[in-house]
Amino acid sequence: MNTFEIMGILEDWNFWKSPWEEGFPRPFYLEKMVTQVASGQVLVVTGSRRSGKSFLMRQLASSLVRSGIKKQDVLFVNFEDPRWLRRDATLLEEIFSTYRDLQKPKGRPYVFLDEVQEVEGWERWVRTMHELGKATVIVSGSNAKLLSRELGTVLTGRHVDIVVYPLSFREFLSFRGIPDVSAETTVSLGGYFREYLSKGSFPALAGLTDGSREWFLAFYDDVLEKDLVGRFRIRKSEALKALLNYAMSNISKPMTANAVSKFLGIAPDTVDKFLGYFEQAYLLFTLKRFSSGVKEQQKSPRKIYAIDTALAVVIGFRMSEDFGRVAENIVYMEYLRRRIADSEIELFYWKDIQGGVSGKEVDFVVKRGTRICEAVQVCMGDFVGETKKREMSALAQVAKKLHPERFLVITEEYEDTVKYDYGEVSFVPLQKWLLSE
Report domain extents, the chain.
Answer: 3-164, 336-434
Return the minimum-mean-pLDDT range out of 48-57, 136-145, 161-170, 345-354: 136-145
Q: Per-residue pLDDT for 192 more than 70?
A: yes
Residue 357: pLDDT band with limits 50, 70, 90 = very low
Q: Per-residue pLDDT for 27 more than 80?
A: yes
**In the CATH hierarchy, which fold is given to the domain comprising 3-164?**
Rossmann fold (3.40.50)
Q: Per-residue pLDDT for 383 more than 80?
A: no
Q: Helices 3-13 and 89-103 meet at what angle, rounded to 10?
A: 80
What percentage of residues in the chain have a pLDDT greater than 70?
A: 91
Q: How far is CA 347 from the centre of its chain?
A: 15
Q: What is the pLDDT of residue 331?
A: 98
Q: Per-residue pLDDT for 422 more than 60?
A: yes
Q: What is the pLDDT of residue 185?
A: 67
Mean predicted confidence (pLDDT) in 160-166: 92
Q: What is the pLDDT of residue 146?
A: 54
Q: Per-residue pLDDT for 358 more than 60?
A: no
Q: Which CATH architecture has domain 336-434?
A: 3-Layer(aba) Sandwich (3.40)
Q: What is the pLDDT of residue 210?
A: 66
Q: What is the pLDDT of residue 267?
A: 94
Q: Per-residue pLDDT for 424 more than 90?
A: yes
| Sheet containing 302-306: order of strands | 254-255, 302-306, 284-287
Residue 229: pLDDT band with limits 50, 70, 90 = confident
Show the beta-strand stretches assigned E in 79-135: 110-114
Q: Per-residue pLDDT for 150 more than 90?
A: no
Mean predicted confidence (pLDDT) in 233-258: 91
64 neighbors 74 (Cβ within 8 angstroms): yes
Averaged pLDDT of the chain: 89
Cα torsion angle, 162, 160, 281, 226, sign: positive
